[in-house]
Structure 1
């Protein structure tokens, strides 16, 4: 049950008919694992602000934007909340933990190393938000809900799978569509595209958590910047896919 402080904090979300108090409680119970780079940075902020209760963070880098935000929050007394997010690692100077904790004290941040069992890590979460890589392949093999985003020059892509035995995985996409461009576009438009797409990814992730929208099939979204030419289409499962099809032997 929501506390009075939580009702006040999330009042603008609770009045939404597609969310309500029950939906907000679902978000507070939710566990979302975020893995990856620049496209996941904006997503992290929106997931925390929306009230996702536990955010797992798995990344080799600590985005510089969090250091800047932490410093800005230090200057804005009305944004400072002394109750910080907790972490499984004792990192009092971690700008990511500090920023997300000040943004929303209900959010618990759990840092994970890059080693260890991917399958075991995935099983501890309701949803995985990630860049392309082995972790996304494991999601496909296990039938785990996943949002996977990547960039190709001026294009941004997002693959969304709600999970289940008959849903296509990321590996079912055509090879030419899965190519990534390191660094994407190092331009003003490229940076804005990453911010925009990170927010869009957060929207789709929240829909997955609360069960809003169609449950199947998997979909891939694409947007070309700066023209903002947007498209989306369903992705059919490839029965011969080496990850989720007969050849892959999807678990469950």
Structure 2
């Protein structure tokens, strides 16, 4: 999970550490087929020599890759590439969301996903699904709701749409992205007073209502359009925050 709390200040993109670099070197060698699943990795001493780093750096890099399930240490034998390395799951780590650009890229990914998801939700939704969506919009419409709860309600609204789509993989993807997007979005939105007022809430409310109305009407084409409009506008807002932050 993303353990970045909403109180954390946004940070400039950090330079990769020596451990990061060592991890990527080993990860790339596995990805590119230099070391196949089940094969033994070079010794610690070889990496110290070839990468020009300390043994501590190599050990930390291997420990991180082991935590990812990419490699495994066998006592008395060495470190081996995991048999399941080729099937490693898609990941977005906390370190990859330390910059507003990263948040924007994830929102770009969601644009296409949300559009198709809303269309399916319009075709398959139940009355319970609609109740769930309306519940989150009521929270978003309350003027005394804080930023953290507002962003969470926003994500939960989209999670309800994913559920209504009837496709469990949409649900898993939205859950995955939501867990990672909520904290950093809360941080960046809080930096801009323009995104905390009633006018902002009203705009967001209208965009969400348009999606809900289309889904309730079982109008897939209109749901597509409403979801695309909402995600496109969300991207514009975050790009504007980025522009203002540079001043």
Per the normalisation by structure 2, the TM-score is: 0.27
Per the normalisation by structure 1, the TM-score is: 0.27
Q: Which has the higher contact order (CA 8 A, sep 6+)?
A: 2
More strand by share: 1
Larger radius of gyration: 2
